[in-house]
Amino acid sequence: MNAELGFGLILVGLLCSVAGAFAGFAAGRTGSEEGWRWTRRLALGFSVAMLLANGVMEYALLTHDFSLKYVAQVGSLASPTYITIVSLWSSLEGSILFWGAVLAIYVIGALVANGTRNTDSMPYAVASWMVVAAFFCFLMAGPANPFWPGPDPVPSDGPGPNALLQNHYLMIVHPPTLYLGYVGMTIPFGLAVAALMRGTLGPGQLALLRTSLLVPWGFLTVGIVLGGWWAYEVLGWGGYWAWDPVENASLLPWLTATAALHAAMLPGRRGTMKGWTTTLVLATFLLTLLGTFMTRSGVFNSVHAFSQSDIGPTFLVFIAICLVWSIVLLALRVDRIEGEGRVTAAIGRESSFLLNNLLFVALTFTVLLGTVFPLLAEAIKGVKVSVGEPYFNRMAVPMGVAILFLMGVGPALPWGQPSAERVRTALIPPVVAAVVTVGVGTLFGVRTPWPVASLFGAGFAGWVTLAALLDIARSGTASRQLRRIGGYVIHGGIIVMIVAIAMSSAFRADEEIRLKTGETVEFAGYSLHYDGPDKVVEPHRQSLVARVSATKDGETVELRPALVSYPSMQQPIGSPDVHSTLTHDLYLSLMQQDPATSTAGIHAFHNPLVIWLWIGCGIAALGTLLTLTPAPRASPAVAPATETAAPAAT
Amino acid sequence: MNTKVLVAGGLITVPLVVVLAIGFQHDPRQIDSPLVGKPAPGFALTPVDGGATVALTELRGKPVVINFWATWCVPCKQEHPALVQVARLFEDEVSFVGVVYQDEPAKIERWLGQYGSAYPTVVDEGSRAAIAYGVYGVPETFVVDAAGTIVHKYTGPVDPNDLVARLDQMVAR
């Protein structure tokens, strides 16, 4: 019953999206009111069908309907209810179904947010969303059908979802957050396509484009960091980022989306960079497709590529179609939407925006090249190579530091063509702040070049950000400038994160320790005492725990790193335990436990400042919320009023 | 038409798509064993049902198929019936040995009772054989020729057709 109902809803979704795509393009061409009304109805039809189909799958999961292949694959009577609920996105078919639900929510949200405006361009945008929707419905109706009937006879129980996904509560929030980031990029993509189809990108469209980029950008930011946090808390190698292909895949669209968000601020003020902004938006969407492809096709070997499947070729064809469509559309129309204004070459805020965009794009290419290089080497020379961390660190660290520095330079400089005198007075206080920060850092032992450079950048950008926030606060118009405040708060969060990344990777200490019950060892200022083993049995898993008391300055905490076995997994997985403080984390990972000799092998890490990575991300998320507050009337983002007048003449 | 955009777009994206398309033809998980072409590491292990030790040296003169597996491994259940079939097919020409890795004898006997057996199954105490063969995860299966050289390794469940074709060739030689 669930199978027929769910599959029927997918067919309804497919039908609505295909018809909606045709109706939208037709309505865009003819400008027909009736056509536009039908386009909206069909888009809503798709959305409702997707949400209901997800409801059916959740119902099947919760009632353990093992007659569905998907439920038989990921369900288990022993799994706790919350695990059963999130099993929806624990495997390929379910995650594509969930993709449909997320797109449905975005489509409804975008239609509501747009209301009755932009009637000339919106049909094209909705049509583009429906093309993407149709592709995913096609996947669900064919190669990745989540409602495929299961084995006969119907099994009485299933293995439960992938053990790595069950091991930590972050796994409940990380995938949907990332999905909200990925899928949401479909909306700005549609708006960019519409702008190119119409040959215009007006203020109303720009405002919608900005909002539609910001929402998924915020989710993507949080999703990436949650992924790092999950890796840190679950995988047990003491780090949060490994330049794994799938991690890179989530970083790539983030880089281009960040560039696009900054680029989009220029057309609103200057009428320039519209073609470039659209290009970045298109690239962002294409990179989210590439990211999904990397995770789901089995081309890359990665901890995340847990589902090898047959959808790879279909997906690659869709990516190719989208690429051709985007490039041809850009080539045909980019000259038409580009405004008359020119970016001045002077040292002003524009130039720092340009440099920022250049760096983000260079970083995108660097990461992309490093990610596909192993495939390239294999295709050409037939050897398996791994580019690995050294390449990425060597390339990305300087660019990251430069971006950090620009985060200070840009906002410090005024728009237009400031005099050399003004530039000097604007830059002196942050330089002093930067030097002081470096000085403080040296006192704490930061003396190697890149960490020092990042402290300099952080001090510089941090000063500018704080000064800008104080200026706004003093002006007494804070309540009317929430969006600007939001932008600076995001910068503040990112600065905190970059410092945390720089310090935790440069000053990490680790040691492999073997301890017998009752023994004590000194590590990074802690005395670690092994209290002995423990065993925890739960219905869906068994844990071998090492009880370790860590004492520092007379305070003792108990850590319980463990090895967890799931019936569906061959190897037990590590479950590290972390004692977090504001200055450092003590991180213990159990490597092995030998009951015969009552010894435990523990990998201990001392990671400075890691907690600030999560705090910085929270600050950035808060800032994103502020930037999404409704614009006050005559806000510069929507209507470039008085401020543009003078420099536009240059 | 802005040809610059067209050319730049093509130059960036076409190679990317081509590389990804080629990427399909390779399995990223296939790790070639450095042992292929080298002499098979020797072992002498006790069968699960007691009895005399099975030593690799005693099996020389015939091709040997060494299958590393465990009762807790799901793909092993999947490949086991096929292995039993192939072992029966080559009953006189090829020796088969199952090496059980990180497991308990009681569970192994129950498992074999349930899924059948056609060749000796030995217990790898302390995972010494698995370490010598560089076993990365189970199942892994090594094909050793009559001279004691490893000629092939299967990572993951054995493809029975491929195994039969390979053994046919070795036996004919």
Closest-CA residue of chain A to B17: A320
Candidates B5, B25, B77, B135: best to mutate against A (most CBs of A within 10 A) is B5
From residue A492, alpha-carbon distances to A177, A462, A468 in Å are 22, 7, 11
pLDDT confidence bin for A134, thresholds 50/70/90:
very high
3 state SS for A532-569: EEEEEEECCEEEEEEEEEEEECCEEEEECCEEEECCCC
Query: Could you tell me whether strands A577-580 and B54-55 are parallel, antiparallel, or unpaired per DSSP bridges?
Result: unpaired
CATH 3.30.360.10 fits B31-171, yes or no: no
Local structure of residue A403 (DSSP, 8 states): H
Cis peptide before B139 (omega within 30 of 0): yes
Closest-CA residue of chain A to B137: A570
Per-residue pLDDT reduced to its tens digit, A462-493: 999 999 999 888 988 888 889 889 999 999 99
Local structure of residue A444 (DSSP, 8 states): T
Q: How far is CA A373 from the centre of its chain?
A: 22
Residues of chain A found within 8 Å of residue B135, distances taken between Cβ atoms: none
Residues of chain A found within 8 Å of residue B138, distances taken between Cβ atoms: 570
Q: To which residue do tokens 């209301």 refer? A: A115
What are the structural domain ranges in chain B?
Answer: 31-171
Count CB atoms within 10 A of the CB of residue B128.
12
Query: Could you tell me whether strands B140-144 and B121-124 are parallel, antiparallel, or unpaired per DSSP bridges?
Result: unpaired
What gap in Å lies between CA A36 and CA A127, rounded to an integer? Answer: 10
Q: Do A323 and B17 touch (CB under 8 A)?
A: yes
Question: Phi and psi at residue A431, in whole multiples of 5°?
Answer: -65, -40
pLDDT at A108: 96
Residues of chain B found within 8 Å of residue A567, distances taken between Cβ atoms: 72
Say yes or no to pLDDT of A624 above 90. Answer: yes
Residues of chain A found within 8 Å of residue B16, distances taken between Cβ atoms: 368, 372
Candidates B20, B25, B127: best to mutate against A (most CBs of A within 10 A) is B20
Distance from CA of B104 to the nearest CA of A (A): 15
Per-residue pLDDT reduced to its tens digit, A65-95: 888 888 888 888 888 888 888 888 888 888 8
pLDDT at A267: 63
What gap in Å lies between CA A295 and CA A570, rounded to an integer? Answer: 22
Determine the residue type at A332. Answer: L
pLDDT at A639: 39
Closest-CA residue of chain B to A328: B6
| Tokens found for residue A397 | 């660290």
Candidates A565, A570, A593: best to mutate against B (most CBs of B within 10 A) is A570
The kind and range of the H/E element at B95 are strand B95-101
**Mean per-residue pLDDT for A271-284?**
87
Which residues neighbour A59 within 8 Å (Cβ) at sequence distance 6 or greater? A2, A65
Distance from CA of A274 to the nearest CA of B (A): 14
Q: Do A330 and B137 touch (CB under 8 A)?
A: no
Cβ atoms A238, A508 nearer than 8 A: yes
Q: Do A331 and B10 touch (CB under 8 A)?
A: no
Say yes or no to pLDDT of A383 above 80. Answer: no
Distance from CA of A368 to the nearest CA of B (A): 9
- Between residues 41 and 70 of chain B, which touch chain A (CB distance below 8 Å)? 70
Cβ atoms A359, A400 nearer than 8 A: no
**Mean per-residue pLDDT for A198-222?**
91
Q: Any CB–CB contact under 8 A between A625 and chain B?
A: no
Order of strands across the sheet that contains B64-69: B121-124, B95-101, B64-69, B140-144, B150-155
Distance from CA of A322 to the nearest CA of B (A): 11
| Tokens found for residue A285 | 């969407």
| A-B contacts (CB, under 8 Å) | 70
What is the CATH number assigned to the segment(s) A1-161? 1.20.120
The Cα angle at residue A3 between residues A309 and A311, in degrees rounded to 5: 15
Residues of chain B found within 8 Å of residue A301, distances taken between Cβ atoms: 28-29
The Cα angle at residue A96 between residues A91 and A99, in degrees rounded to 5: 125
Say yes or no to pLDDT of A180 above 50. Answer: yes
Residues of chain B found within 8 Å of residue A571, distances taken between Cβ atoms: 137
Say yes or no to pLDDT of A617 above 60. Answer: yes
What gap in Å lies between CA B98 and CA B46, rounded to an integer? Answer: 11
Per-residue pLDDT reduced to its tens digit, B93-104: 899 999 998 788
From residue A404, alpha-carbon distances to A352, A408, A503 in Å are 12, 7, 15
pLDDT at A190: 96
Q: Any CB–CB contact under 8 A between B73 and chain A?
A: yes
Q: Express as a percent the part of chain A with pLDDT over 90.
A: 46
Candidates B1, B19, B29, B78: best to mutate against A (most CBs of A within 10 A) is B19
pLDDT at A421: 84
pLDDT at A306: 43
Distance from CA of B10 to the nearest CA of A (A): 8
Cβ atoms A46, A131 nearer than 8 A: no
Determine the residue type at A273. Answer: M
Cis peptide before A640 (omega within 30 of 0): no
Q: Any CB–CB contact under 8 A between A299 and chain B?
A: yes
Distance from CA of A290 to the nearest CA of B (A): 10
What gap in Å lies between CA A142 and CA A212, rounded to an integer? Answer: 30
pLDDT at A495: 94
A209/A341: higher pLDDT: A209
Residues of chain A found within 8 Å of residue B77, distances taken between Cβ atoms: none
Q: Do A570 and B72 touch (CB under 8 A)?
A: yes
pLDDT at B112: 87
Say yes or no to pLDDT of B26 above 50. Answer: yes
Per-residue pLDDT reduced to its tens digit, A420-437: 888 888 888 899 999 999
pLDDT confidence bin for A380, thresholds 50/70/90:
low
Which residues neighbour A442 within 8 Å (Cβ) at sequence distance 6 or greater? A452
Torsion (CA) A90, A92, A95, A99 in degrees, nearest 10: 160
Q: Do A323 and B5 touch (CB under 8 A)?
A: no
The Cα angle at residue A360 between residues A354 and A364, in degrees rounded to 5: 145
- List the one residue out of A294, A163, A28 whose CA is nearest residue A565: A163
Which residues neighbour A45 within 8 Å (Cβ) at sequence distance 6 or greater? A12, A13, A16, A20
Per-residue pLDDT reduced to its tens digit, A560-583: 999 888 776 656 777 899 999 999
Cβ atoms B65, B163 nearer than 8 A: yes
Q: Among the residues of A476-610, which ranges form H helices?
A: 482-506
Question: Phi and psi at residue A543, in whole multiples of 5°?
Answer: -120, 135
Q: Any CB–CB contact under 8 A between B130 and chain A?
A: no
Distance from CA of B69 to the nearest CA of A (A): 10
B1/A112: higher pLDDT: A112
Say yes or no to pLDDT of B80 above 80. Answer: yes
Residues of chain B found within 8 Å of residue A305, distances taken between Cβ atoms: 28
Complex prediction ipTM? 0.70
Q: To which residue do tokens 């919608």 refer? A: A208
Torsion sign, CA atoms A59, A65, A68, A74: positive
**Mean per-residue pLDDT for A269-297?**
84
From residue A206, alpha-carbon distances to A24, A63, A82, A282 in Å are 20, 46, 40, 14
**Mean per-residue pLDDT for A494-510?**
90
The Cα angle at residue B157 between residues B151 and B159, in degrees rounded to 5: 65
What gap in Å lies between CA B4 and CA B10, rounded to an integer? Answer: 10
Q: Do A312 and B24 touch (CB under 8 A)?
A: yes
Say yes or no to pLDDT of B79 above 50. Answer: yes
Closest-CA residue of chain B to A378: B23
Determine the residue type at A256. Answer: T
What gap in Å lies between CA A91 and CA A68, rounded to an integer? Answer: 14
Q: Do B5 and A297 touch (CB under 8 A)?
A: no
